[in-house]
Amino acid sequence: MKATVLIYSALGLLALGAATPDTARAQTLRLAVVGDSMSDEYRANDNRGGAYAATTLNWVELLQRYRPVDVGAYGTRPEPRRAGYEYNFARSSAVSAAAPAQAQGVAGYVASGQVTCVVQIIGANDFNLWNNTYQAYYNGLSASARQARIDAIVLAQAQSMDILQNAGLECFVVVTVPDISETPRVLRTYTDPARRQRVTSAIEDVNDGIRAAAALRGIRVVDINDVNTALFAYMTGDGSVRINGEAMDLVTASDEPHSLILADAQHLGTVVNGLLANAITGALGEQGFAITPFTATELVRNAGIEAPVIATLFPTSYRVVTGSRTGGGLGSLDADDGDQLQVRSTTSGTQRKAVTELTWQNVVAGDLKVVLRLRSGTSGSTLQVEAYDAAEHDWDQLLDESLGTSETARTITLQPEHQAAGTVVVRVHSSKPSTTTVQYIELARVDVR
């Protein structure tokens, strides 16, 4: 399977903030994609990322997983669909000529109202190394052959736009074609700058055609080159690029998440895919779909990079909501030393419960994780952990699983809504049907990253 090259420059991409329209639509966005391997799921047939596969995600997967974006049901479909989300028609190795056929597939979902917006991001394989299309322009084409290729690319992309708009599509984003000419992989082999400029000029002509076609149809365009340039906002004085304090590797192709490019030297890593997602959602936001951009913290966390702990906080108070304290106290919660807060469950009723509320005050803002070490006095108990959402005045369940008699650690990520004016409140529930038990909490802390 040949892959789309999307290195764009040795630097990559930067997040663009989403515009906030006067009337933003709050519902989940149902999104379809026309594209190539940049958008074909990393976690499906292509299985990118090696040892880091679990957190190697492209922009489609990031939005599906972490934002109110629905790309359809996950499943396996006949070629050229393969495994992936129902509304994602992107296919590795696809060139612009494949866009109309993909658009025909998407159009049915648009016409039936199942899809609200479409992103078209295809064309890198029209100027690629694996299929010798880059080499053709580099080595020189006749003027007529060059123009015929450019016209065919623009025509295919415009036909796709027409198919989707004729199906009733109103929310539409088209992304311009990337230029790989200044990437290390190309520079090592294709050393003549004048001949590389031949390719760059052809891509510029294609992108001018795409912009003109989109403008004629009232379609938003995300310009890849503008996004590339914006990455300089993450550059420090020493020339390195740091996102949320993490130094990104601009040169090495590696599946390790600090590298902007995967080990295949062609595909973007998760961090840069998050930046691309931000650029795309910015254009969607201009059309009434306000989607929160990924923050610097999220960009690295979604890639499996844990930021360093900058503060460790222990509960400032606790109270027993259900049951009764039988041992230990507040001082028992700040160390893994055998001293435990012990809460006995209720002694009657079908479900015997022990509920302890833990409060942290003066919590500094950041990426927060609650770490608990605890056990039950009886096997087969149920553990539930909730955090208080002050804005909604309600409790959000964050964990629901079994708890045994062996001490175990649980790490739970808190969301911004669980941090109200520097206060975090968590409830720990232990229960067992018809059996009195004891909840033992050895350690409770909040790690701030």
Domains of the chain: 29-302 (3.40.50.1110), 311-448 (2.60.120.260)
Q: Are the C-beta atoms of 137 and 150 separated by less than 8 Å?
A: no
Cα 188 to Cα 197, 294, 320, 356, distances in angstroms: 15, 34, 66, 62
By CB atoms closer than 10 A (0-12, 13-18, 19+), residue 376 is buried
Q: What is the pLDDT of residues 386-427, one digit of tens each?
A: 999 988 899 999 999 999 999 999 999 998 899 888 999 999
Strands 351-360 vs 317-322: parallel, antiparallel or unpaired = antiparallel
Q: In the structure, what pLDDT confidence band is assigned to residue 8 with cuts at 50, 70 and 90?
A: very low
Residues 6+ apart with CB under 8 A from 81: 89, 91, 105
Q: What is the pLDDT of residues 119-170, one digit of tens each?
A: 999 999 999 999 999 999 999 999 999 999 999 999 999 999 999 999 999 9
Q: Does the pLDDT of residue 326 top 60, yes or no?
A: yes
DSSP-derived secondary structure letter, 344: E
Q: What is the pLDDT of residues 241-254, one digit of tens each?
A: 888 888 998 889 99
Rounded to two decimals, what is the model's pTM? 0.72
In the sheet that holds 69-70, the strands lie side by side as 69-70, 29-35, 117-121, 171-175, 220-222
Q: Which residue type sits at 106?
A: V
Handedness of CA 59, 61, 66, 70 (dihedral sign): positive
Average pLDDT taken over every residue of the chain: 91
Which tokens hold the place of 381? 């108990």
| Cα separation, 219 vs 131, whole angstroms | 30
3-state DSSP percent of the chain in helix, strand and coil, to 5: 30, 30, 40
Q: In the structure, what pLDDT confidence band is assigned to residue 364 with cuts at 50, 70 and 90?
A: confident
- Taking the C-alpha atoms of 121, 122, 124 and 128 in order, what is their torsion angle to the nearest 10 degrees? 160
Q: In the structure, what pLDDT confidence band is assigned to residue 308 with cuts at 50, 70 and 90?
A: confident
DSSP 3-state of 330: helix
